[in-house]
Structure 1
Amino acid sequence: MKDLIDEYKESLKITRFQLKGIEVEISVAKINLQNARGRRVTNLKAQIDRLEFDKSTYNQMLSSLKYTLEWLENGRRPGQIRGIEKKDAYYNMRPYDPSIMERYIENKQASMPWDIEKAERIVFSKMDGEIVKTVLETLSERERDALLMSLNGKSIREIGCMLEMPRQTVHNTIKRAKRKIAEIKYKVLEGESL
């Protein structure tokens, strides 16, 4: 790591030296421009433009080198006031992947003997099965995950953290999913085919 830092420091010195050379060339070209006439003026203006472009490129390189060097030396991103040791490192972590929501919910189903008895008493008609199938096909994966988490008692904030979405987006997603389900229920009650 020390070798890498030394290489960056050397690159920083070389870049600064080359930038000073470009600045000197620009100032010389500007002095020559004051005394020039005719075609020489356009050539000097073009040369100054090229040198200004080179100068901006070298300034960007210098900025990137300084940024990287500071990151390597401090062990954290530049501009960060506090280190990770003072932050709640686990606050922004996703507790689980939304793609495994279905397995998570299936594992929460009847596991005790008395729960199994209750589950056996629930009977679905063929129509109920078609409604559930239509609902699952209609909802997007994002809507389905947000709605299932909401029905399992998660708050909007928790759902937002897990799905990496702003709270208002989570709220709108759940609202949209409920509206789709209501439309399907309405179609079924009106006797329309799914």
Structure 2
Amino acid sequence: MTKICPNCQAENEDKSDFCQKCGKKIPKTVKIPKQDTPSRGVLKGWWDKQNSGVKIISVIGGCCLGVIIILVVMSALFPVTSLILEKNDVLRDNLTVQYILKGDTDVNAKVYISSTELNLNNTEVRVDEKGNFEYQQQLPKNLTELSVSITAKAPNKSQKEASLMYTKHN
């Protein structure tokens, strides 16, 4: 083992009491400053200097970033068709009961509506160039409940489904 001169950093034999280069006395024990090594990188040194608050915020931020990356990758690998129902209105007068369903989806999606009460089974609803759709249906006056399922399907995406329940109140 060698001794390092604290004055000029020259290497000296372990048994030396004086530096062979500058002649200064070498203490019996010499503190050697730690240097960043591959096992102790720059980030490790930075991490060790931080207080617990910074460490907690860093860990939480890293986790959030990880979740965002996973969501972006999942949405690229498994895209889902969008389906947003904007309005579900029932207009009534003395003669008719009109059921109106409006919504929007992907521009290139197809929308299908199903209802056992109305004898509809995957009836296609027209989607305009902006992805909007509207479906209107006359309801029988004696109908008290209505269940409607809407399915949107777009090429290369998994389908999206929504269900609505209409209950007539007297």
Q: TM-score, length-normalised on structure 1?
A: 0.23
Which protein has the bigger strand share?
A: 2
Which protein has the bigger helix share?
A: 1
Higher relative contact order (CA 8 A, sep 6+): 1
Q: TM-score, length-normalised on structure 2?
A: 0.25
| Greater C-alpha Rg | 2
